[in-house]
Structure 1
Amino acid sequence: MFRIGKQFRFEAAHSLPDLSEGHQCARVHGHSYTVEVHLVSDGELTRPGFVVDFAELGPFSAHIRDHFDHRDLNTVLDAPPTSEHLAAYFYKWCRDHLRLPEPVRVEKVRVSETASTFAEYGPDLP
């Protein structure tokens, strides 16, 4: 099996109003988000020895830039904009919109709000 990944970054604000009164995340605040997309292949590599050309992730980069960068995430997602919901959203977007050759698939997506925190989503996570 081969695994590759690519990181993407964006800046955005959000609030989590369902938290207890006084919780710092209930107030509007911002993060420098990092999103990692992990792809796997159980098969052979494509020429010249790639799982997939990283350029194939260009549509995802454009989607983040056009819909998430410098936005209020409370107006972008239909769910509370937690890292967990963002990871699931981005995973499903990649699965449904990236044109990946067989047998390449999206393994997981990791979203970090800070350098020391993250949430991951993928159907095969233990």
Structure 2
Amino acid sequence: MTQVSTEHGNFRISRSFNFCASHQLSSLPVEHKCSRLHGHNYTVTVAVGGATLDEHGFVTDFANLAPLDEYLRTRFDHRHLNDVVDFAPTSELLAHHLGCWFIAEVEPNLGGARLVSMTVSETSHSAACWERS
């Protein structure tokens, strides 16, 4: 199969991973519920894209995104995020951190596909997305 491209847009794939962790946003007023220790079952969704598909018809193999799952499990799963990162562990800042990590550590192995966005969801109703500029 030959490489496929489109003149009208880009292809995008996404994959989601989960981890459980606690955090505390101590810069918030004491009355704010998020200033207290609490936890979430996080979902992290990475989106990568490109203008072409490889010889298999893929943006990249979904398996190439698995290093993000390993990073999440070893660094964040069942941890207190305030003890793990050197920034306030908001969903916005976690999405930015994970996006930058992904660009440095995973993207070079994607065969030309590039990170589009990194989304961190604390619940099924609340998410923060960092988009690459």
- Partners of 1:49 and 1:61 lie apart in 2 by 24
Superposition pairs of residues 1-126 of structure 1, within 5 angstroms: 1-42=10-51, 44-98=52-106, 99-102=109-112, 104-124=113-133
Larger Rg over CA atoms:
2
- Partners of 2:110 and 2:84 lie apart in 1 by 26
Aligned residues: 122
1:47, distance to aligned residue in structure 2 (A)? 2.6
Q: Is the 8 A contact 2:30 2:36 kept in 1?
A: no
Deviations 1:31-86 (A, max 9, x none): 000000000101x2113210000111121111101001000000111110000000
- Partners of 2:17 and 2:54 lie apart in 1 by 23
RMSD: 0.8
**Aligned partner of residue 115 in structure 1, secondary structure:** coil
**Which 5+ residue runs of structure 1 have no aligned equivalent?**
none
Q: Percent identity?
A: 42
